[in-house]
Amino acid sequence: MKKKIICFGEVLWDVFPDHKIIGGAPLNVAMRLNSLENNATLISAVGQDPLGQEIVAYLKAKKMDTSFIQYAKDYPTGEVLVSLDQDGAATYRINSPVAWDDIRSNAALIPAVQNADAFLYGSLASRTQTSKATLLDLLDLAQFNVFDVNLRPPHYAYDDLFLLMKKAHLIKFNDDELYAISKQLGSSCTSLEDHIHFIAKQTNTSLICVTKGAQGAVLFSKGSLYYHDGYPVEVADTVGAGDSFLAMLLSGILAQQKLDLCLQSACKMGALVASKKGATPDISTEEMETFFTP
């Protein structure tokens, strides 16, 4: 049976030096979830402008439900300037304020979130009071909250991050984010594992995943740790690799697969996406099955 997932947050244009593409972490996760035969829907906002109209048309062409895409009256559609270094690693300059800073509560969102198997959100969409208030209202309605930490300076406050972590049942960090937030919360730990245990205790979160780039990832569940060393690939760009990793991990967890296999599949998906250009390249079942098969 398809799992229902609501993804909350930014939808935008990633603007590269020579082209632009539609993106935003919640959208990237939702699209990958749908490619894995789930039913993911996005709550976001676009401007009343051609860029917003193009995003909605794109989502409809991808067969994604656009019922919860709002049209912000006073703000333009979001844009992010993306720069890639020689290794394909991305840095971002995020425009503000934009439409997804103005996501508003409405009656239709309540049953959608209540009936979903999971509710996924990031830190970026809490940078303004309006979207943050809507997010906090919805978090109290959801069955299973998934916090995708995306630290994009200066678009976050540590008090907000701590509150969003305490609301989560699953938190996904990269290793730099884990260290930065743990230290801000007062951790004197030195190892990655000790930081994970510290966060779990501080937030009472039973599932924590930490990605380590080319070195794979670690998954914490109720005191146990699962490891995967990752897959070596020639990186085309890293945009969206973490989003597809999280989608694959969440899809496996919701399907009640063994956690070590969930982590393995997530690392495989993340590596495959990093080996291709774009945030949500097509990845076939055959590619997943044959990728690094012994």
In a domain, 286, yes or no: no
Its domain, for residue 144, covers 4-279
What pTM value is reported for the model?
0.94
In a domain, 11, yes or no: yes
112 pLDDT band (50/70/90 cuts)? very high
Among 245, 96, 79, 217, which residue's Cα sits nearest to residue 156? Answer: 96
User: What are 223-256's pLDDT values in tens digits?
Assistant: 999 999 999 998 887 778 999 999 999 999 999 9
Query: The dihedral of CA 39, 118, 114, 102: what is its sign?
Result: negative
SS3 category, 152: coil
Q: Which residue has the higher pLDDT, 128 or 291?
A: 128
293 pLDDT band (50/70/90 cuts)? low
Among 95, 97, 63, which residue's Cα sits nearest to residue 82? Answer: 95
pLDDT for residue 67: 96
Question: Mean pLDDT throughout 260-288?
Answer: 91
pLDDT for residue 263: 97
Q: Are the CB atoms for 256 and 39 separated by under 8 Å?
A: no
In a domain, 285, yes or no: no
**How many domains are there within the chain?**
1
Q: Which helix (H) or strand (E) holds 41?
A: strand 39-47
What is the rounded CA–CA span in Å between residue 100 and residue 44?
6
User: What are 75-88's pLDDT values in tens digits?
Assistant: 999 998 888 777 76
CATH assignment at residue 48: 3.40.1190.20
SS3 category, 101: helix
3-state class percentages of the chain: helix first, strand second, coil last, to nearest 5? 40, 25, 35
**What six digits make up the tokens of 36?**
């894995």
For the chain, the average pLDDT equals 93
